[in-house]
């Protein structure tokens, strides 16, 4: 590898840089090649600093969607108020952060867990502690995470 760089440096030394009559020294050539390889290997990497939530709310008694209801969604202490759709769907967006990474490292990693509370007005609170690495059980089997949003599927809630 060093021999190839040295040979390339000698070839470049024979030519003038950009036609201005300046000859490149071998050390400058190596520095320039190193800088180019670092720049080429850099790229953006995104991580999740707070997960988002997506769910459909259904009344336990009537099995109908909890439609157009003011709902408080709390993920890791950050609270937002949303109104559910006609189908009972609610969404809280994820908070993402972007970093520059060279060849994929050092590895920044998204938080592996989240504490989620969903409280529709007039209904009991739904609480879940989600962890990316736990094996799914009967409660969490339908839950999956994609692009920073935890999809809870259908949640049945009881009236107060």
Enumerate residues 6+ apart whose C-beta is below 8 A from 76: 50, 51, 111, 114, 115
Residue 143 has pLDDT above 70, yes or no: yes
- Say which residue, 35 or 151, is predicted with more confidence: 151
Residue 109 has pLDDT above 90, yes or no: no
Residue 3 has pLDDT above 90, yes or no: no
Question: CB atoms < 10 A from the CB of 94, how many?
Answer: 20
| Residue 33: Cβ-neighbour burial (10 angstroms; 0-12, 13-18, 19+) | middle
Domains of the chain: 2-41 (no CATH), 50-93+111-157 (2.60.40.10)
Q: What is the residue whose two structure tokens read 């060093």?
A: 2
pTM value is: 0.68
Q: What is the residue whose two structure tokens read 């009537």?
A: 62
Residue 16 has pLDDT above 70, yes or no: no
- Confidence (pLDDT) at 127: 94
């Amino acid at each position: 590898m060093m021999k190839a760089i040295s040979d390339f440096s000698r070839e470049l030394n024979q030519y003038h840089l950009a036609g201005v009559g300046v000859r490149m020294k071998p050390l400058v050539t190596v520095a320039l090649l190193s800088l180019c390889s670092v720049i080429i290997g850099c790229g953006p990497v995104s991580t999740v600093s707070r997960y988002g939530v997506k769910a459909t709310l259904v009344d336990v008694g009537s099995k109908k969607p909890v439609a157009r209801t003011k709902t408080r969604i709390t993920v890791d202490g950050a609270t937002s108020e949303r109104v559910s759709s006609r189908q009972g769907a609610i969404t809280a967006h994820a908070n993402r952060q972007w970093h520059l990474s060279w060849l994929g490292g050092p590895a920044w990693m998204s938080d592996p867990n989240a504490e989620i509370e969903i409280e529709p007005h007039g209904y009991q609170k739904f609480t879940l502690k989600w962890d990316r690495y736990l094996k799914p059980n009967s409660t969490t089997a339908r839950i999956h995470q994609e692009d920073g949003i935890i999809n809870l599927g259908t949640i049945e809630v009881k009236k107060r």
